[in-house]
Amino acid sequence: MGMLGWLHRRGLEMKGLITMDDLTNEDILSILDDAARLLPVARGETYLPLLEGKILGNLFFEPSTRTRMSFETAMKRLGGDVVNLGDVKTSSVVKGETLFDTIQMVDGYTDIIAMRHPRQGAARYAQDAARVPILNGGDGAGHHPTQTMLDLFTILQSHGTLEGLSVVLAGDLRYGRTVHSLSHALVRFGCKLILASPELLRMPAEIIEDLREHGADVLETEDLLGNINDADVVYMTRIQKERFADEDEYTKVAGAYKLHARDVANVKAEMIIMHPLPRVDEIHPSVDSTRHARYFEQAFNGVVARMALLCRLLNIEVPAEIQGGEA
Ligand code: CP
């Protein structure tokens, strides 16, 4: 690319997705609407090369299966290409290259970057260093907004609305970045939140404050099973062992909640059970065959939600009608 092209890219001031504050409720609904129309493309029933010629940089400084692979699938289903940092141990990060320099390089190789990093705030820092949009695929115990988009898509598919639902968020609310981003989005749609966690893993006070500032109806409790019968959504999370400074502290809360099929005998018929995955022992396999389980469908929805986000951030319009399958 010549200097003029470079300057042109700089002049576009493309914004990424670092937290859910980067999207209005109207943006969210419009992106989810695009995602619904892209379902046949995500399923491989039709090919729609909207992103032909575009390159996604996948920079995962922390392990990932779903986020990394669904970004890659989304890009390829839309005719785009992907370059991966790969295993951090085989990259120049081990030679001491800074995140800032790494981003400066990858910025020149790609049109958009998906990034996961163990340090909270790293995605914001990367966005400040980059000209291309950064999609935050998880920054430490901070945020995971692209996960929230697929979570909202899953809820919308099941309930037909995001408004006024009763949602139980359970497990590791302290370190679980998925619930940090999701809780913020849900209160903006007027949902009631029941936050079920061991005392040690309560939602951080500043997030509770943010939720209440947005008018949230929030109940904090240690009792999961006593709160699921009136819920529309039960969102389970893994205890984030890797975030604990002290192994003894982890041992105190490991296995705090284990949802079994017998526990959902008296829940609402339309209640859905979600989990960002991977699960450890929070959801017993007996739940998988109940009508309430949505977590594998939720993981698939990562492809459509990320397709729609890639198109939006690259300023590519998703057609109003897409042939080739039923949405
Ligand atoms: N839900 C999620 O972020 O999964 P991965 O850690 O496998 O990307």
Q: Which of 77, 144, 192, 238 is catalytic?
A: 144
In this prediction, residue 325 has a pLDDT band, given cuts at 50, 70 and 90, of: low
At 289, which amino acid appears? S
Closest ligand 1 atom to residue 138 Cα is 3
What's residue 10's pLDDT? 38
Ligand 1 atom closest to the Cα of residue 62 is 6
Q: How far apart are CA 220 and CA 106, in angstroms?
A: 42
Ligand 1, atom 6, lies closest to the CA of 64
Catalytic residue list contains 9: no
- Of 198, 190, 287, 292, whose CA–CA distance to 239 is shortest? 198
DSSP tag of 106: H
Q: Is the CB of 66 under 6 A from ligand 1?
A: yes
Instruction: Find the 190 Cα to ligand 1 centroid distance in Å.
Output: 27
Q: Which CATH architecture has domain 146-299?
A: 3-Layer(aba) Sandwich (3.40)
Pick the catalytic residue: 67, 110, 148, 154? 67
Whether the predicted pLDDT of 306 surpasses 50: yes
Global model pTM greater than 0.75: yes
Domain ranges of the chain: 6-144+301-313, 146-299
Do the domains spanning 6-144+301-313 and 146-299 agree at the CATH topology level? yes
The pair of structure tokens assigned to 87 is 């295993």
Atom 1, ligand 1: which residue's CA is nearest? Answer: 276
Contact 69 CB / ligand 1 (< 6 Å): no
- Alpha helices, DSSP H only, in 133-246? 145-159, 177-188, 205-213
**Torsion, CA 38, CA 44, CA 47, CA 48, rounded to 10:** 20
Superfamily of domain 6-144+301-313: Aspartate/ornithine carbamoyltransferase (3.40.50.1370)
Question: What backbone phi and psi angles, to 5 degrees, belong to 311?
Answer: -60, -45
pLDDT digits (tens, 9 = 90+) for 64-109: 999 999 999 999 999 999 999 988 888 888 899 999 999 999 999 9
Query: What is residue 49's predicted lDDT score, i.e. its pLDDT?
Result: 98
